[in-house]
Amino acid sequence: MPQNKIKVLDNGYVALVDCMGMDKAVIEAARRCYMSEPQGEDAAAAADAKLVRHLILKDHGTPFEHAYFRFDVKCPIFVARQWIRHRIGTYNEMSLRYCLAKRDYYTPSSLTGEALEKYKKSVNEAFDTYETLVASGIKREQARGVLPLSLYTLYYWTVNARSLMNFLKLRLDKAAQAEIREYAEALLEIFKEKMPVTAKAFEEKMKPKE
C-alpha cells in the first residue's frame, strides 16, 4: 500500500506518486503569453492569484497543461470504466492476463440483510469458479470472464491540471455516481494541497451562483 494514500470506499485508495510544475508552472506559462512580470515581491502573490482567476474564468486552459500529477489508484472495475473515459491522461493498469485476481471486491455500504448476503454469495461463487478454472489449466485471460465488476483494479494515472479539473467538474457533480464522486473528493483534496492558487480559483468558478 503506498504512503500518503487517501482511503476511498471499503478497500480502495488514491495516492499521489509524483507531481510537476504546479501553480508555478501555470503562472510562468501565462506570463510568457503576456511577457509580464508582477510589480514587486509584495504584489506578486496577489497578482499571481488574480492572473490564475482570470485564466480559469476565461477558459484559457493551456497554461494548466504544464502542471502534472501521477496518481496511484485502486478502485472497483466499474469505477475504472467510468474513469478511463477521460481520454486526456495516461493509464497503466494491472493486467488480468498476467496477474492472478485476488478475492478483493467492493461491497456497497448501503447493502444490508438478505441483499448483502445475496451479493456476497454471488461474488464469491464467481471467484470460486475463477479459481477452479485457473487451477484446471484454463488461461487467466479467459477465466477472468466470470469475475465481477466489483473486483478492485489498480492503475497509475498521469494527468495534467487542465484535464484533472475537467474530471473534477464532471465527477464531483451530483449527477455522477456516488462511488466515483468519492474518488473525485480525494483527488480534490490532493489538488488543493498541491495547487492551492489554481484550486481556489477552480472552486470559486464551480460554486453555484446565488
Ligand X SMILES: Cc1cc2nc3c(=O)[nH]c(=O)nc-3n(C[C@H](O)[C@H](O)[C@H](O)COP(=O)(O)OP(=O)(O)OC[C@H]3O[C@@H](n4cnc5c(N)ncnc54)[C@H](O)[C@@H]3O)c2cc1C
Binding-site ranges for ligand X (CB under 6 A): 85-88, 163, 166, 170, 175-176
Q: How far is the CB of 73 from ligand X (least distance, A)?
A: 15
With CB atoms as reference, the residue minimizing the distance to ligand X is: 87
State the minimum distance, in angstroms, from the CB of residue 87 to ligand X.
3
The β-bridge partners of 71 are 16, 157
Q: What is the rounded CA–CA span in Å between residue 141 and residue 124? A: 19
Complex with ligand X: residue 91 or 119, whichever CB lies closer: 91
For residues 62 and 29, the answer to whether their CB atoms sit within 8 Å is yes
The reply to whether 31 belongs to the active site is no
Of residues 46 and 178, the one with the C-beta less far from ligand X: 178
Q: Toward ligand X, which CB reaches closer, 58 or 85?
A: 85
With cell 470460486, the residue in question is 128
Contact 106, 153 (CB under 8 A): no
Q: Which is nearer to ligand X, 129 or 166 (CB)?
A: 166
Active-site pick, 32, 87, 171, 181 = 171
Distance CA 210, CA 207 (A): 9
CB contact at 8 A, 101 and 141? no
208: exposed, middle or buried (Cβ count in 10 Å: 0-12, 13-18, 19+): exposed
CB of 104 to ligand X, least distance (A): 26
Residue 171 CB, shortest distance to ligand X, in Å, is: 6
Under 8 Å between Cβ of 37 and 30 = no
Catalytic residues: 171
